[in-house]
């Protein structure tokens, strides 16, 4: 009987070790997000139906539809050197999970660090044909310090 008790205890220890190892492995590999590749951006001005709230929309396209939630930062610079900086979360599209492109209202990038009269500056200057560059950085999570983006691309002359 003592032999069976020792074997039973040994098997329990082996199972515990395997369970802890499996949890550790899942924690390391299961939490990672799929890599993303930025392919294009463009400014759309024809989505507004008269409200004035969607007359400046940025379309951000990826090589594949997003399967996870990511954080992105955007830096828009116009030919007149008007700069709009902002960011937000990009989530998989529930309405069209096969779409590779996300539409972002440019006015949603206005924040406490934006220039005075940012809304009017966007309306006057941030439009197709008048943007010298757009830098987009994508992160797994909202950056807290100096984290490096998982994807980054600079687009010129939009």
- Does residue 117 share a domain with residue 79? yes
Residue range 9-26, pLDDT digits in tens: 655 665 465 555 444 444
- Does residue 116 share a domain with residue 63? yes
User: Strand pairing of 101-105 and 57-62?
Assistant: antiparallel
Stretch among 48-57, 65-74, 76-85, 98-107 having the lowest mean pLDDT = 48-57
- Does residue 127 share a domain with residue 86? yes
- Does residue 95 share a domain with residue 43? yes
Residue range 41-57, pLDDT digits in tens: 999 877 766 666 778 89
| Predicted TM-score (pTM) of this structure | 0.75
- Does residue 102 share a domain with residue 49? yes
Over the chain, what is the mean pLDDT? 83
- Does residue 113 share a domain with residue 65? yes
Residue range 96-129, pLDDT digits in tens: 999 999 999 999 999 998 888 999 999 999 989 9
**Structural domain harbouring 6:** 1-32
Environment class of 148 (CB within 10 Å of its CB; exposed 0-12, middle 13-18, buried 19+): exposed
State how many domains the chain has.
2
- Does residue 82 share a domain with residue 114? yes
- Does residue 20 share a domain with residue 98? no
């Amino acid at each position: 009987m003592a032999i069976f008790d020792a074997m039973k205890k040994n098997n329990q220890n082996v199972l515990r070790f395997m369970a802890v190892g499996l949890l550790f492995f899942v924690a390391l590999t299961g939490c990672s997000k799929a890599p993303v590749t930025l392919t294009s951006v463009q400014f759309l001005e024809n989505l507004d139906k008269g409200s004035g709230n969607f007359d400046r929309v940025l379309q951000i396209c990826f090589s594949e539809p997003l399967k996870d939630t990511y954080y992105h930062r955007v830096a828009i610079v116009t030919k007149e050197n008007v700069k709009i900086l902002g960011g937000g979360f990009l989530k998989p599209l529930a309405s069209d999970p096969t779409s590779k492109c996300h539409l972002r209202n440019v006015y949603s990038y206005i924040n406490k660090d934006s220039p005075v009269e940012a809304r009017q500056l966007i309306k006057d200057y941030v439009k197709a044909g008048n943007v010298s560059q757009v830098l987009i950085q994508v992160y797994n999570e909202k950056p807290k310090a100096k984290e490096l983006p998982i994807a980054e691309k600079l687009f010129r002359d939009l």
